[in-house]
Amino acid sequence: MDNRIGTYTCRTESYLLDFRGQLPFPALGGYLLHAATLHASGRGFGYDDMAGRKAAWVLSRLAVELTNPERLAEPLQILTWVQQVERIFTFRCFEITTLQGLPLGRARSAWAAIDRETRRPVSLSHFGLTDWVVERDCPVTFTSPEPAEKDTEGIPRAVKYSDLDINGHLGSMKYIETILDLFDLETYRTRSVVRFEIVYQAEGRYGMQLLLHKKATATDEYAAAICNEGKSICRAKIRFAPSPY
């Protein structure tokens, strides 16, 4: 296997499964972030390496497409690699399979490095990421989620302690968890998320007063947004499909 590609195994314990016995989508997102963390840490641009440069990684965009969501409760294998490096953003891709190699899904993500003090983006030119770029196909693309906050009434929510990550702001998966909680239980009894795309626009801070918005854009497709003081801090696009179980 090409050393530029990381391969990691994830085994889901029963306490992580939802009421259907399935892996919740935010938990899968956590597996992807864990794989990305391990891959970066083993190649000189992980959390500790970035901290030594007074910088930190922030997730800018994530798009996940699933082909067999009903099998995500099984032990998984996640492959990840750096596909492209630009001045400020780097793009990382993922493949999700069973341990036997059956494809379950793919994902594309965009990351930026920020200065820990100024919170401003920093150039990636000195981090050595180009040495790890792999020209491997990833058909997942980014789109532009609609502004769900237009003509919809927001549901209030405040950022609490349990929402915060190691950088002290609303964690990447907490954005996703908050958005998916906008759908009722019947939705998840009969539907599975087969595509989720999110664009992170601003940091959510402790005590920040949020408004959550959701609107249907097509059959089984929705746009969502989390807003603060009239501006979105993230936008998302969700597509469901009938559950096979």
Ramachandran quadrant class, 220 (left: phi over 0; alpha: psi -120 to 50; beta: rest): left
What is the Cα–Cα distance from 189 to 132, expressed in whole angstroms?
Answer: 42
Cα separation, 111 vs 51, whole angstroms: 16
> In this predicted model, what pLDDT tens digit does every residue of 217-236 receive, in sequence order?
999 999 999 999 999 999 99
The reported pTM is 0.95
Query: pLDDT (tens digit, 9 = 90+) per residue, 118-174?
Result: 989 999 988 889 999 999 999 999 999 999 998 899 999 999 999 999 889 999 999
- Summarize the confidence of residues 56-64 as an average pLDDT: 96
Question: Residues 137-150: pLDDT tens digits?
Answer: 999 999 999 999 98
Q: Which helix (H) or strand (E) holds 79?
A: strand 76-85
Q: Which residues, in sequence order, are CB contacts of 240 under 8 Å at separation 6+?
A: 187, 191, 192, 193, 194, 220, 221
